[in-house]
Amino acid sequence: MNGTKEESIPEGHDHHHGHAHPHEHMPCENVKQNDRVLTIRAHSGLSGDILLAGLLRMTETGEAETDRLLSAILPELSGTVRLTKRQVNHIGGWFAEVALPHQHEHRTLADIVALIAASGMDDAAKRLATDTFTLLATAEAAVHEKKPEDIHFHEVGALDSILDICMSCELFTRLAPARFVVSPLPLADGGVACAHGIIPVPAPAVLELLEGIPVRPFPDDGETITPTAVALLRCLGATFGPWPAMRVERRALVYGTRVFANAPNGAIFACGPRDDG
């Protein structure tokens, strides 16, 4: 898979988490009423915070509305996200600045599913977020030879995942693109430090989620793609390939937290109507 044509994730992947195909979650009325295309060109990386920042820009969501949406997910998330400008190698882009309260709470998949169900999120966003967490837990369970219900999302990592996943799903359902096209994902060699010591990249959970997804080499070492990002792409119904035929109306260069030696870490987001002419 070299990314020379657009490829969708195989239908067979759905047996991993027992949910309907992600495209079924999109509000049909929205999809029929617009021909909006969303594309992400992941030139050096993709993570939950990059997706969050990019979707905030594509939906043009301001601070007050961001806080309202965050409060609907969890009251303690209000005021934790600010979209800011950042320069990397003297090139300006956008960055999601996140300041989370410290928590000592470990959450199981059931805890998070219950939290999502009780939230004030849109129903379509609730389904997407639940599917994403279920897929993440299933991947982690496969790696650790456990059952998904026995997987724990720990402390700040759990809150960070709740923020990135729930907010991204909320924003994506608002945008409601008829097509969602992502570039082949950049992967590097090397290792990443975690609770289990130094593990090779792609991290085992990412590797578990990559089935059927086109990838390409990235020249630096280290983690370029996070499990949260891959799980979101799958559950949001991404297809993979080159730039789609579209008229660009909104665009953003978005940076992530990690810094690479030779490349800005991030992705290009663009949105606009389909243009086959």
Are 55 and 172 in contact, with CB atoms under 8 Å apart?
A: yes
pLDDT at 154: 64
The rounded percent of the chain whose pLDDT value lies above 90 is 62
Q: How many helices (H) and strands (E) does the chain have?
A: 8, 14
Indicate the Cα dihedral angle 30, 127, 202, 153, nearest 10°.
Answer: 150
And the tokens for 172?
A: 């994506």
pTM of the entire structure? Answer: 0.86
pLDDT of the residue at 7: 54
Residues of the chain with pLDDT under 50: 1-5, 9-33, 155-156
Q: What is the pLDDT of residue 276?
A: 82
pLDDT of residue 18: 37
Q: Is 30 exposed, middle or buried (0-12, 13-18, 19+ CB in 10 A)?
A: middle
CA 162 to CA 114: how far, in whole Å?
12
Q: Which residue has the tokens 């800011």?
A: 84
Q: Pairing mode, if any, of strands 250-255 and 197-200?
A: unpaired
- pLDDT computed for residue 216 by the predictor: 96
pLDDT of residue 269: 98
